[in-house]
Amino acid sequence: MISVRGLRKHYQVHKRPPGLKAALRSLVHRDYTAVKAVDGISFDIQPGERVGFLGPNGAGKTTTLKVLAGLLHPSEGEVTVDGHVPRFREEAFLKKIMLVMGQKQQLLWDLPPSETFELNRAIYDVPRLQYKQTLDELVSLLELEELIGKPTRQLSLGERMKCELAAALIHRPRVLFLDEPTIGLDVSMQVTMRAFIKAYNEQTGATLILTSHYMDDVAALCPRVIVIDKGQLSYDGSLDALVQRVRPEKRVVLRLGQPVDAALLTPLGKVVSHEPGSAVLQVQQDAVNATVGRALSTLPVTDLTVENAPLEEVMSELFQEGKARRAEAAREEVPA
């Protein structure tokens, strides 16, 4: 469905040191530096897949999405989406895709969302009957009845985001790019959005690429993740395997009937947190069984669970690794 080969996107950015003198100088002479937003990325995505793009701010996730959507021309490399070259922006291509941006909105601000839906119906040439069906479905799934008649500016962020999503799906795109669709939403709204996005993918077989800062979004939606760091691909595979690779240790979470002495915990594993009623231990995977056994026999345990390290920590460790590797490479480049 999607194929990306050696994608590079470099920007020329005008750089200026601070100060009035430098500002005046920059009027006549400008120094440009190339920013490598995306620097040689390749991957393939099969139809119907749900893939999460992960990476720190400025890693190149959004740039990659925009190249895939045809909004940015790649500096180098080949990109095809369902047989189309995105940058040509052919009508047939644009009718198949949609990009939802959590931080930008397409809804007409002063008019009710229903007017944006109607506009999109006309732009995408959606037949009346199909439009009505799709809209009825969206309205009931996202619980929009009360919202679509109110001017957009009177809606809350969460309500607006639901309508944004509906506006984006009027033409039933086969490829959906979601750029931080849950940003700023409360937890229950995030759950609603995730469930809906997953249902859309399962019902229509649409291919889905998602970027998000909320790891829960990615964990709930994407069996496969692609990690981009400083414009380069640093991981492509299942989320579970990523966690296994970066943090093979497991966490044993204990609920305790009564407070225990720290000295009792340290022999069991690395103590991550310790409070009067609970403790979290980090242990090697092969030592989980032994640790659980010992904990149950030596401590007043009322409840016990074994978990992976939180995704946030896994990611931050992965990015730290990348940073260290780059620093290392930079040192080697400098002649002794």
Partner 1 sequence: MNAKRYLRLLGVQLKASGLLALQYRADFLAEGLTSLAWTFTALAPLFVVFGARPSIEGWTFHESLLVVGWFTLLQGVLEGAISPSLTGMVEHIRKGTLDFVLLKPADAQFLVSTQRFLPWRAVNVLSGVALFVYAFVSLGRWPSLPGVFASLVLLGTSMLILYSLWILVVSAAFFVVKVDNLTYLFTSIFDAARWPSSVFRGSLAWVFTFIIPLALMTTFPALALLGRLPWTWLVGAVVGAVAFAAVARWVWLMSIRHYTSASS
Among 16, 89, 255, 270, binds partner 1 (CB under 8 A): 89
Q: Which residues of 37-51 are buried (b: 16+ CB within 10 A; e: fewer)?
A: bbbebebebeeebbb
Between 192 and 211, CB nearer to partner 1: 211
Between 86 and 269, CB nearer to partner 1: 86
Can you read off the two tokens belonging to residue 99?
């990009």
Q: Rule CB under 8 A: is residue 219 a binding residue for partner 1?
A: no
Between 110 and 143, CB nearer to partner 1: 110
Among 7, 45, 54, 63, binds partner 1 (CB under 8 A): 63
Q: Rule CB under 8 A: is residue 71 a binding residue for partner 1?
A: yes
Can you read off the two tokens belonging to residue 2?
């999607």
Sign of CA dihedral 8, 13, 17, 19: negative
Q: Which residues of 149-171 are buried (b: 16+ CB within 10 A; e: fewer)?
A: eeebeebeebbbbbbbbbbbbbb
Among 2, 39, 54, 70, binds partner 1 (CB under 8 A): 70
Q: Rule CB under 8 A: is residue 2 a binding residue for partner 1?
A: no
Minimum CB separation from partner 1 for residue 11, in Å? 7
Minimum CB separation from partner 1 for residue 75, in Å? 11
Query: DSSP 3-state assignment of 128?
Result: helix
The answer to whether 43 and 81 are in contact (CB under 8 A) is no
Among 1, 5, 11, 82, binds partner 1 (CB under 8 A): 11
Minimum CB separation from partner 1 for residue 144, in Å? 19
Q: Rule CB under 8 A: is residue 94 a binding residue for partner 1?
A: yes
Minimum CB separation from partner 1 for residue 228, in Å? 13
Q: Rule CB under 8 A: is residue 124 a binding residue for partner 1?
A: yes
Residue 202 CA: distances (Å) to CA of 59, 174, 188, 195: 29, 12, 21, 11
Minimum CB separation from partner 1 for residue 252, in Å? 42
Between 62 and 192, CB nearer to partner 1: 62
Residue 308 CA: distances (Å) to CA of 284, 302, 317: 11, 20, 14
Q: Rule CB under 8 A: is residue 175 a binding residue for partner 1?
A: no
Element (H, E) at 36: strand 31-45
Q: In the window 135-164, what residues touch partner 1 (CB under 8 A)? A: 151
Minimum CB separation from partner 1 for residue 72, in Å? 6
Q: Rule CB under 8 A: is residue 41 a binding residue for partner 1?
A: no
The residue range among 102-110, 188-196, 260-268, 321-329 that interacts with partner 1, by the rule CB under 8 A, is 102-110
Other beta carbons less than 10 A from residue 236's beta carbon: 16
Size, binding site for partner 1 by CB under 8 A: 34
Rounded to 10°, the helix 157-169/187-204 angle is: 10
Alpha carbon distance, N-terminus to C-terminus of the chain: 48
Query: DSSP 3-state assignment of 58?
Result: coil
Q: Which residues bind partner 1 (CB under 8 A)?
A: 11, 35, 37, 62-63, 66, 69-73, 89, 91-92, 94-95, 97-99, 101, 104-106, 108, 110-111, 115, 118-119, 122-125, 151
